[in-house]
Amino acid sequence: MNSRELKRIIRADLFRYFGKTSLKYFLKAYFTVPGFRFSYYLRKCGYYRNKGKGYYLCYIFYKLILRHYRYKFGFEISEYTKIGLGFCIGHFGGVVINPAASLGNNVSVGQGVLIGKNHRGEKAGAPIVENGVFLAAHCIIVGSVVIGKNSLIGPGAYVNFDVPESSIVIGNPGQIVSNKGVFGGYDEKYFYE
């Protein structure tokens, strides 16, 4: 990844909060939206981690800042986690995402969300969350499962099974109540320009 790609990723994240990517909205998001500020440092930390030995001090610098915001805002997300463009943390605090998990483009995460790894049994592994998924407050997704694109996981839902594309899941244990989706799908190109 080069610096141009990093800027593109940060702009895509910023777009999810305000629908604009100018410097004015960057500053507004940085100073008023904890989720954006955290994801900004998460992206920078991941970028310098992958740059190699010559950038080790930059990586350590951003890692320390990321750790500070991890404790301040309550977001436990590692720079090793694979996260696509347009990542949005909608509310303050309590988000835990296992480093082995994979999130697609335009994924929205509410407060108290847990995306965890299962270490044994037939579902051993970490979840894959595809493009355009909305994870509502306090939902839990565990194990080697795939959450299909444009799905919604409702508040407090517990999901340990594969969710087909454009589904709505509610309850504990989770149940699929619709396969018609709620978004009508994302025009992915729209979010990246």
What are 25-50's pLDDT values in tens digits?
999 999 999 999 999 999 999 999 98
| Interatomic CA distance for residues 16 and 123, integer angstroms | 32
Residue 193: pLDDT band with limits 50, 70, 90: very low
Number of structural domains (the chain) is 1
pTM above 0.85, yes or no: yes
Q: What is the residue range of 35's domain?
A: 3-192
Phi and psi for 4 in degrees, rounded to 5? -65, -40
Residue 181: pLDDT band with limits 50, 70, 90: low
Give the model confidence (pLDDT) of 91-108 as tens digits: 888 899 999 999 999 999
pLDDT at 182 (0 to 100): 63
Q: Which among 86, 88, 16 has a CA at the least distance from the CA of 25?
A: 16
Check which CATH number belongs to the domain holding 166 and give it.
Answer: 2.160.10.10
* DSSP 8-state symbol, 93: S
